[in-house]
Amino acid sequence: MNYIPFNNLKLITIEIDNKFNNIINKNNYIKEIHSNYLIKYNINDNYKISLDILNYQSNLIYIEYKKNHDLYLKFINNMYGHYFKLYNNIINYIDEIKDKTNININSKKFEPFNDIKDITKFKIENSEEIFNKINEYLILINNYIKLQTEDIKIDKITKKSGIYLNNFINEKEYNINILEEKIKLFVNNFISYYDFHYNFLKRLLYKLNLEKNYIDNKINSNIDNKNIKNLIYKYKLVKSNNLEHINKKSILLISLFTNFICYLFYLYARNKIPI
């Protein structure tokens, strides 16, 4: 059998993690804009209602993000469970045939997987470690089968010289055939798990790409939040300056009006204007 690389699975999970990070960052960007607008308009109730759709947009993105992310974490957790069960089957079988085959391994104890408890605790690195051990043991047994097959060829050559080894060869071939079929079963299950995991992760990555592209097309986050805050600051500054300008103008008008009234009283006192 050929070595099955886990790296393909790991590379997809790295891409998926990046997509999740991009989506949540974009959603945080929307939430910050919503927060900035509430600050800008001093949390006026009418404006808050008008901004509800912006807040709802953020909530929808997060709901979809969380649903996909929870599914992803649960899938990675169950991936470990699949390989853990296969690993135990292989270890138990090797233990059964070790006296006949002299195949000895120092099997590693991995943390048990519990189907009943719905706990998400295993990471992609845990699956990678047990995956590589399965590869190692299957290759070891496959190499043993190759050596035994070569020995049987030598026995058949010896038999042709007149040595009666028929029953001995039949027994060896029978045992090797059983071992070979059992290993084929393990390898097929191993490949089946791998294909299932790979296809699911590719499908999830495709789905996240669609979601991310849609969000990117609708929301331009190239506008730096610092710029938005600066605009809000300038808005407040202009508003404050306008109010200050209006206040100064009002004071000036009141002052002119007061002076005019005083002047009228002065003329009256001088009998300059009739009563």
In sequence order, the 6+-apart residues with CB closer than 8 A to the CB of 241 are none
For 202-241, b/e burial (b = at least 16 CB within 10 A) is eebbeebeebbeebeeebeeeeeeeebeeeeeeeeeeeee
Cut 0.75: pTM above it: no
Question: What pLDDT score was predicted for residue 269?
Answer: 56
Residue 4, token pair as written in the block: 């099955």
- Rounded mean pLDDT for each run of 10 residues along the chain, 275 residues in total: 83 96 89 74 63 78 93 95 96 87 82 83 94 93 91 86 85 91 95 96 95 82 53 51 54 61 55 50
Q: Per-domain residue ranges for the chain?
A: 7-222, 223-275
Question: What pLDDT score was predicted for residue 273?
Answer: 47
How many Cβ atoms are within 10 Å of 23's Cβ, its own excluded? 21
Question: What pLDDT score was predicted for residue 22?
Answer: 93
Question: What pLDDT score was predicted for residue 24?
Answer: 92
How many Cβ atoms are within 10 Å of 86's Cβ, its own excluded? 19
Query: DSSP letters of the chain?
Result: -PPPPSHHHHHHHHHHHHHHHHHHHHHHHHHHHHHHHHHHTTT-HHHHHHTHHHHHHHHHHHHHHHHHHHHHHHHHHHHHHHHHHHHHHHHHHHHHHHHHH-----PPPPPP--SSS------HHHHHHHHHHHHHHHHHHHHHHHHHHHHHHHHHHHHTTT---HHHHHHHHHHHHHHHHHHHHHHHHHHHHHHHHHHHHHHHHHHHHHHHHHHHHH--TTS-HHHHHHHHHHHHHHHHHHHHHHHHHHHHHHHHHHHHHHHHHHHHHTT-S--
- DSSP, collapsed to helix, strand or coil, labels residue 160 as coil
Q: Are 180 and 138 in contact (CB under 8 A)?
A: no
Question: What pLDDT score was predicted for residue 275?
Answer: 45
